Chain A
Amino acid sequence: MRLRQAALLGWGLLLLGLLLAALGTCIGSAGFENLLRPLLDASADPAERAMALQIVWEIRLPRTLGAWAAGSLLGLAGALAQGLFRNPLADPYLLGSASGASLGVAIALAAVGGGAGMVGGGSMMNGATFSMLSGSVWVRLGLTGAAFAGAVLAVLLTLALARGVGHTLRLLLAGVIVGVVLGAMTSLVLLFSPDSLQAMQAFMLGTTSFVGWTSWGLMFACWCLCMALAAALARVLDGLSLGEATAQTLGLPLAPLRAALVAVLALATGTAVAQTGLIAFVGLAAPHLVRAVLKVPHRQLMWLASLMGGVLLASADLLARWVIAPQELPVGVVTAALGGGYLLWLMHRRSSGLNAGGLL
């Protein structure tokens, strides 16, 4: 019975996602405008058709689908993180991937800038250092590559600090430490390259501005891979929910499976962050939003959290583009408002209700 409910929710979210994708083709720099009409109308002016086609196909559609894909990745990562750490407050950035990506982007921005704003022979840092970085591998990677590399390296650093995946608590602590330290290093890099501040802020708050078909393709491929792996690993997460000792006696090889979970987490988060920047709250809120409707074990939670995350981010992206067109709000601000507001309302409703169990 519950499986049927889960399937219903899943299909519902999928339909909602498709609806948002369709809506996304109508929202652009002039607010809401339906460009599909000139496309579908055969008698329209060909130049106008060409322009409409270009705008819908090359700009609006990949952006909206990109937001959907990124949200799906983050929702999946959030469900995995909460299962791995057995903590409802876990989010996909807990292993330091967010700070790593930020540091990568900051270094890339500073390096591409050729170290402008640096002081040669000053008391702080040698201007030569940054000019050495320009033209190096950072510049060749481009910003998305730098963000992805930073995220993955940060997770590896966390693993090294925690000395493997044996101890979940140690992993969590290591992730927090790495996050803080890399965040400080990011601030330091930005200090010496203040011209990057505005660009950095755009990254930190998230945007789908430049998501094209290549970006979407990468995210979609990553999602397929991560989903397949997560479906296989869902069992482990359910077993872990009984405690590590019981999970061991149930025959689950904990260490390699935890390592696999961390790898999937890093991959999903790194890809999403590299393409769309740091979008807060989607990873944290999506599993909770699913659980508020329906309580399911991890195997279904993966799918539903992923779909929910996609819908959340897609709708936030639409709002971000619509509200002050042709200017744009940073998408991270809208997700925080949407997701956070909804969770607040839910908590208020529950606390005034009867059920006091669990977070919600």
Chain B
Amino acid sequence: MSAPAYLVRGLGASLGGTPILHQIDLELRAGCWTAVVGPNGAGKSTLLRAIAGLLPCSGQVELLGRELHDWPRQQRARALSWLGQNQSAADDLTVHDVAMLGRLPHQSWLAPASPADLAAVERALRQTQAWDWRERALGELSGGERQRVLLARALAVEAQVLLMDEPLANLDPPHQADWLLLVRELVAAGRSVVSVLHEISIALHADELVVMRQGRIAHHGACHEVATQRALEQVFEHRIAIHALAGQWVALPVTSVT
């Protein structure tokens, strides 16, 4: 039995003095896609940042069986890839340059890009259908195209664990579908994916769902379980209803009062 992707015990974190996360206990299985959902302000992004090691936090976080802070920095960067929300990026770097930045954890200080790096970048760009415009500057792209490039950057790290915060921002439905396929491939290859998603219907495709509310875990279970779905509806104060449709689960907003 391989170590879980993440083992979190008693995690607490605050932002600017205000406590956001309270006593979180979580075990995220390896080789599985976990979606983190919840209403605005539930602390989803904060949770992701905390387990990525970007926030000072109390409690214990183990990544792939080792305490997060015990990892040597570059090793940890190779094992863990993080894609944040609202990323700034230098507009005059080309798409290829940006994706190549994802290889930083694998490169030594003065060495130029190795063939392995170039191959990884090509793979990542092809996976996000951005390979054809690899010479274009980032500033010339639309929001959705930009997001795909940033996604490619996160993929180029070829890490065991991928943490993605709102990866579908600005993506149109076809590309959202592409992303779903991509995650499926990654999971099939044994990677672990944790994503914070606002699109509940997409989140319901995940293997497991972590439902958060006000800085705590309300529920953690498989998507197809009834308990999970009830917990989800409850957390959104029954403003959504989950239905089965064409072999998928969809969450629809409740507009009429029944």
Contacts from A to B (Cβ < 8 Å):
1-2, 86, 231-232, 235, 238-239, 241-243, 245-246, 248-253, 291, 295, 297, 355, 357-358
Q: Which residues of B contact A238 (CB under 8 A)?
A: 90, 93, 97, 101
Instruction: Let me know if A242 and B153 touch, CB within 8 A.
Output: yes
- Among A231, A239, A295, contact of B104 (Cβ-Cβ < 8 Å): A239
Contacting chain A: which of B3-11, B14-22, B77-85, B228-236?
A: B77-85
Instruction: Let me know if A245 and B93 touch, CB within 8 A.
Output: no
Q: Chain A interface mostly helix, strand, loop or mixed?
A: loop
Instruction: Let me know if A1 and B135 touch, CB within 8 A.
Output: yes
- Among A232, A246, A291, A355, contact of B87 (Cβ-Cβ < 8 Å): A246
In the bound complex, CA of A31 to CA of B89 (Å): 48
Q: Chain B interface mostly helix, strand, loop or mixed?
A: mixed
Let me know if B94 is at the binding interface, CB within 8 A.
yes
Closest Cβ neighbor of A248 among chain B residues: B54
Let me know if B167 is at the binding interface, CB within 8 A.
no
Instruction: Let me know if B110 and A232 touch, CB within 8 A.
Output: yes
- Among A231, A239, A358, contact of B139 (Cβ-Cβ < 8 Å): A358
B18 CB to nearest A CB, Å: 19
- Among B88, B91, B97, B104, contact of A250 (Cβ-Cβ < 8 Å): B104
Instruction: Let me know if B78 and A241 touch, CB within 8 A.
Output: no
Closest Cβ neighbor of B109 among chain A residues: A232
In the bound complex, CA of A295 to CA of B139 (Å): 11
Instruction: Let me know if B140 and A251 touch, CB within 8 A.
Output: no
In the bound complex, CA of A59 to CA of B77 (Å): 54
Instruction: Let me know if A246 and B82 touch, CB within 8 A.
Output: yes
Instruction: Let me know if A249 and B92 touch, CB within 8 A.
Output: no
In the bound complex, CA of A248 to CA of B104 (Å): 11
- Chain B: number of interface residues, binned into ranges: 35 or more
Given A231-B110, A248-B54: A2 touches B139 (CB 8 Å cut-off) = no
A256 CB to nearest B CB, Å: 11
Instruction: Let me know if A297 and B135 touch, CB within 8 A.
Output: no
Q: Which residues of B contact A246 (CB under 8 A)?
A: 82-84, 87
Let me know if B53 is at the binding interface, CB within 8 A.
yes
Closest Cβ neighbor of B107 among chain A residues: A235
Instruction: Let me know if A358 and B49 touch, CB within 8 A.
Output: no
Contacts from B to A (Cβ < 8 Å):
49, 52-54, 73-74, 76-78, 80-84, 87-94, 97-98, 101-102, 104-105, 107, 109-110, 135, 137, 139-140, 153, 157
Instruction: Let me know if B73 and A251 touch, CB within 8 A.
Output: yes
- Among B52, B88, B104, contact of A243 (Cβ-Cβ < 8 Å): B88
Closest Cβ neighbor of A241 among chain B residues: B90
Instruction: Let me know if A295 and B93 touch, CB within 8 A.
Output: yes
Q: Which residues of B contact A249 (CB under 8 A)?
A: 52-54, 77, 80-82
Instruction: Let me know if A242 and B73 touch, CB within 8 A.
Output: no
- Among A1, A2, A250, A291, contact of B105 (Cβ-Cβ < 8 Å): A250
In the bound complex, CA of A2 to CA of B97 (Å): 11
B233 CB to nearest A CB, Å: 33
In the bound complex, CA of A242 to CA of B107 (Å): 17
- Among B89, B97, B104, B135, contact of A251 (Cβ-Cβ < 8 Å): B104
Q: Which residues of A contact B140 (CB under 8 A)?
A: 355, 357
A350 CB to nearest B CB, Å: 12
In the bound complex, CA of A231 to CA of B49 (Å): 31
In the bound complex, CA of A320 to CA of B61 (Å): 64
Instruction: Let me know if A2 and B92 touch, CB within 8 A.
Output: no
Q: Which residues of A contact B84 (CB under 8 A)?
A: 243, 245-246
- Among B53, B82, B87, B137, contact of A295 (Cβ-Cβ < 8 Å): B137
Instruction: Let me know if B139 and A357 touch, CB within 8 A.
Output: yes
Closest Cβ neighbor of A242 among chain B residues: B89
Excluding A245-B54, A248-B54, 20 further A-B contacts by CB distance (< 8 Å) are A2-B94, A2-B135, A86-B90, A235-B107, A238-B97, A241-B88, A241-B90, A241-B93, A242-B90, A242-B101, A243-B84, A243-B87, A246-B82, A249-B80, A250-B157, A253-B73, A295-B93, A357-B91, A357-B140, A358-B91
Instruction: Let me know if A241 and B94 touch, CB within 8 A.
Output: no
